């Protein structure tokens, strides 16, 4: 059994606002496209409105206040160091033995089984430019692996990492792990909105939306509208209104 989890938190002044409804759409999209045994989970302290089938994981609370000067906190860029708790040596007790962490701003259009049914102890989404080894939108890991990402973390060293790589947690992960970890990319059908390399994908299996816009702002696009939705077609219109009003 693999656990597929996402994160929901409020960041004052953030450039995007996420809600329980985004979690519910994400959960439906996962269930439509993943046939291997799995459990859904959300790491949040705001569980109200989240579908009861989604397990709620209390945030460990570590590194939530860490800000680095290179990653535009004044511009609303997401501060995601809290996600480094996934690399704790005792992560099994919090996140499960085997898990995938995936961002909420994802459009899923094809089977996820080929992405997750593999033996690697660590796989991460490839960086969105040749200068970035990894992107934090998705990572799969066996709990406890690459634990130095957690054990060696300090805010001061994170600031140094931010001078070498873009992002918050992904900059630190790139700094500590370096190049060479197994990654997903266009050849696996994993792409990102606006990339000039999307034509290299045999199909668009999974699309992420770093920055803006977000998929719920683009549902008039035929491809996005077809795949970014709840399982019950009758309530899609009402859900779209709630998502875009968030």
What is the pLDDT, as a whole number, of residue 243? 54
CA dist 188 and 159 (Å) reads 32
Closest C-alpha to 194, from 185, 182, 183, 207 = 207
Q: Which residue ranges make up each domain of the chain? A: 2-104+112-185
Region of 45 (left: φ > 0; alpha: ψ -120 to 50; beta: rest) is alpha
pTM of the model: 0.90
Tokens found for residue 107: 């459009």
Q: How far is CA 151 from CA 116, 121, 148, 167, in A?
A: 26, 18, 5, 19
Cβ atoms of residues 174 and 138 within 8 Å: no
Cβ atoms of residues 164 and 176 within 8 Å: no
Give the fold, CATH level 3, of 2-104+112-185: Spore Coat Polysaccharide Biosynthesis Protein SpsA; Chain A (3.90.550)
pLDDT tens profile 119-148: 999 999 999 988 999 999 999 999 999 999
Tokens found for residue 95: 């996140």
Residues 36-69 as b or e (16 or more Cβ within 10 Å = b): eebebbbbbebbeebbeebeebebbeebeebbbe
What is the pLDDT, as a whole number, of residue 241? 47
Residue ranges for the chain with pLDDT beneath 70: 12-15, 71-76, 233-246
Residue 222 burial by Cβ neighbours in a 10 Å radius (0-12, 13-18, 19+): exposed
What is the pLDDT, as a whole number, of residue 78? 75
pLDDT tens profile 147-180: 999 999 999 999 998 889 988 899 999 999 999 9
Tokens found for residue 222: 């035929």
């Amino acid at each position: 059994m693999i656990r597929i989890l996402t994160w929901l938190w409020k960041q004052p002044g953030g450039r995007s606002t996420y809600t329980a409804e985004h979690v519910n759409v994400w959960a439906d999209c996962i269930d439509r496209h993943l046939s291997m045994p799995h459990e859904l989970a959300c790491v949040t302290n705001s569980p109200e409105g989240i579908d009861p089938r989604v397990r709620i994981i209390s945030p460990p609370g570590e590194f939530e206040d860490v800000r680095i000067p290179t990653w535009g906190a004044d511009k609303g860029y997401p501060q995601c160091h809290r996600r480094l708790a996934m690399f704790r040596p005792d992560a099994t007790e919090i996140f499960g033995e085997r898990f995938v962490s995936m961002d909420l701003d994802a459009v899923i259009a094809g089977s996820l089984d080929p992405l997750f049914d593999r033996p690697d102890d660590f796989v991460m989404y490839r960086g969105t430019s040749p200068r970035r080894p990894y992107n934090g939108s998705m990572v799969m890991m066996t709990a406890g692996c690459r634990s130095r990402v957690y054990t060696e973390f300090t805010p001061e060293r994170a600031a140094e990492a931010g001078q070498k790589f873009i992002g918050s947690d992904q900059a630190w992960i790139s700094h500590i792990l370096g190049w060479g970890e197994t990654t997903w990319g266009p050849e696996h059908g994993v792409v990102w909105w606006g990339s000039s390399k999307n034509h290299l994908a045999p199909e668009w299996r999974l699309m992420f939306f770093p920055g803006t816009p977000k998929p719920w702002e683009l549902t008039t696009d035929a491809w996005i509208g077809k795949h970014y939705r709840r399982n019950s077609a009758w309530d899609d219109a009402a859900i779209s209104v709630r998502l875009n009003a968030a």
